[in-house]
Amino acid sequence: MLNFSGVTYMNSTGIALIVGLLAQARKQKRRLVTFGLSDHYREIFEITRLSDFMTLYASEQAALAGE
Amino acid sequence: MLEINKIKLDSPALRALRGAGVALALPLTNQGELVALVNIGPRNSEQEFSSDDRELLRKLAAHAAPAVRIALLLEAQRRETEERERIQQELQVAQLVQKTLLPSEIPDVPGYNLAWHYQPARAVGGDFYDFIALRDGKVALVIADVTDKGVPAALVMATTRATLRAACRDSVSPGEILGRANEYLCPDIPPKMFVTCFMAVLDTLSHTMVYANAGHDVPYMLRASDGQIGELRARGMPLGLFAGMPYEEKQLTMAEGDRILFYTDGLVEAHNRSRDMLGFGEVQNLIRAHGAGSGLIERLLAAQAEFTGPGWEQEDDTTLIVLERVAPQVIHEDRAMKADDWSRLAAFETTSEPGNEREVMRQVAGVIGELLPAKQLERLKTAVAEATMNAIEHGNNNRPELMVGVEVARSASQIAVRISDHGGGPAVPEPAVPDLDAKLAGLQSPRGWGSSSSRNWSMR
């Protein structure tokens, strides 16, 4: 579970890091979920299609409940 | 006419003739020279040769001698022609080989124009030039002249070129490179031969040039600011003479419009009919008179041709290189931007240190503030950060001392942010849409999101 609350800046290097993490999780057949993304970065996750591979929850409770 | 059996002598030649059963040896002479020897065996009737026989043979010899001589001369001439053709063909192949040793394509020197001319006096020459890409977006320019011309010079030229290239492998210092090349060349170059060589290492990002000179003709630099000519002087002996020579290094900075002429003595030492030389002063005058603009090489060659007059046989190899710093090109200027009436809101610079993109982003956001709705501003901030990162990483090759320029402008309906860098490094390919599936499967690098996402944002 990745906590993005409080993240106000992320660039393409950060996206690459998450892609790498996602590839590793998939190899180990583990799920990756996030919460706390700002609207702007949620949009970026959608455009880069990261949201197709990980569920973006609004809060930690929602993410835990989603399990 | 010799009767072999009557000669009272013993020699290997006579023994051989007797062994072969030769009775008579008939020399064919022409103009006092022995052309051939006709060996005749005994008569079939086993009788001696009669005086009539001998008379007949004597007459035959007198007629045959000139004919055989002419045939032999023709044969010798044919062989000589064949030999000459073979040498000619070998020279042509040598010329082709030498051509492959000289750069045929304009190297990528961002921000600079490079033009050159190379004309050996014979099929192959001792002049050469070279452009070598070094580390950190630096490029080495080499111009050199081997003593003598033709094949001997061409052989030394090939050695020198290879040696210089090898010496460039782990250095960007022209003085060090020339010093190292000299060490290698000294034992390999025949005595009384040497190589004059000028080497300049240009940093296309900072526009500084470091140069060293091994006894070569001093290049001239025409300054765009005042139209004055400077000489690129640095101390150093020609290559291949003495080991352990030091090569002084000098440095200059090239401003926009500055140009440098590198040349070999084939240009300045061209003679006219009264044996005067074209001369260094005249070459300087020609550069000054030509001023800015392309075509300096053509102008110098035309002046040389005019000076020497028609029917001039080129005395020495001639090589010319002109390097000019040009104004940077704005590659993608939006048509809409040109049409509108723009005013500049801010312009500033930052060094190329990782993380500086955040500072640029913050400052641009501060300048634009309320001009954009919050959501659009967020998108612009991401685009600005990505473009700045690309400028730092690719444009300036991560060299912290190089600056990234930022300009913010607005018109009645648009806002523009221009990020500029020094344009070094390999060309950034057109952004492809990154394929997340391929990245997750490990088929593509996880990186490579920047230009695609900036493009996405700037197009919205």
Based on the structure, what is the number of domains in chain A? Answer: 1
Interface of B with A in 413-432 (CB under 8 A): none
CB atoms within 10 A of CB B95: 15
Where is average pLDDT lowest: B12-26, B30-44, B237-251, B338-352? B338-352
Residue B460: the pLDDT is 33
Average pLDDT over residues B228-247: 94
Where is average pLDDT lowest: B218-227, B232-241, B304-313? B304-313
Å between A57 CA and nearest CA of chain B: 20
| Cα dihedral B158/B160/B163/B169 (nearest 10) | -100
B449 has a chain A CB within 8 A of its CB = yes
Interface touch B447/A13, C-beta < 8 Å: yes
Q: What is the DSSP letter of A28?
A: T
pLDDT digits (tens, 9 = 90+) for B116-171: 999 888 888 889 999 998 877 789 999 999 988 888 889 999 999 999 999 998 88
| Nearest Cα to Cα of residue B179 among B193, B204, B199, B209 | B199
Residue B427: the pLDDT is 54
How would residue B86 be classed by pLDDT, with cut points 50, 70 and 90?
very high
Residue B458: the pLDDT is 44
d(CA B245, CA B179): 6
Å between B386 CA and nearest CA of chain A: 7
Does B110 have pLDDT greater than 70?
A: yes
Superfamily of domain B335-459 in CATH is Histidine kinase-like ATPase, C-terminal domain (3.30.565.10)
Element (H, E) at A2: strand A2-3
The domain containing residue A13 runs over which residues? 2-66
**Domain regions of chain B by residue span:** 2-84, 102-325, 335-459
Residues of A in contact with B446 (CB under 8 A): 16-17, 19-20, 23
Residue B457: the pLDDT is 43
Q: What are the Cα distances from residue B139, in Å, to B162, B202, B251, B328?
A: 17, 5, 15, 18
B450 has a chain A CB within 8 A of its CB = yes
Q: Under DSSP, is residue A57 helix (H, G, I), strand (E, B) or coil?
A: strand
b/e sequence B354-382, b meaning 16+ C-beta within 10 Å: eebbbbbbebbeebbeeeeeeeebbbbbb
| Cα dihedral B275/B280/B281/B282 (nearest 10) | 60
Residue with the larger pLDDT of the pair B433 and B215: B215
* Helix extents (H) in chain A: 12-27, 39-47, 60-66
How would residue B338 be classed by pLDDT, with cut points 50, 70 and 90?
low
Look up the CATH number of the domain holding residue A11: 3.30.750.24
Nearest-CA residue of chain B relative to A21?
A: B440
How would residue B450 be classed by pLDDT, with cut points 50, 70 and 90?
low
Superfamily of domain B102-325 in CATH is PPM-type phosphatase domain (3.60.40.10)
How would residue B459 be classed by pLDDT, with cut points 50, 70 and 90?
very low
Structure ipTM: 0.84
Q: Under DSSP, is residue A27 helix (H, G, I), strand (E, B) or coil?
A: helix
Does B435 have pLDDT greater than 50?
A: yes
Does B13 have pLDDT greater than 60?
A: yes
B384 has a chain A CB within 8 A of its CB = no
Task: Tell me the pTM.
Answer: 0.65
Average pLDDT over residues B29-48: 87
Contact assessment for residue B312 and residue B278, using Cβ atoms and an 8 Å cutoff: no
Residue B69: the pLDDT is 92
Q: Which of left, alpha, beta for B46 (phi over 0: left; psi -120 to 50: alpha)?
A: left
Does A12 have pLDDT greater than 60?
A: yes
pLDDT digits (tens, 9 = 90+) for A44-63: 888 888 888 888 998 888 88
pLDDT digits (tens, 9 = 90+) for B309-336: 887 788 888 999 999 998 765 555 555 5
Contact assessment for residue B23 and residue B3, using Cβ atoms and an 8 Å cutoff: yes
Interface touch B378/A40, C-beta < 8 Å: yes
Question: Mean pLDDT, chain B, as a whole number?
Answer: 86
Q: What are the Cα distances from residue A48, in Å, to B110, B142, B382, B451?
A: 33, 48, 14, 12
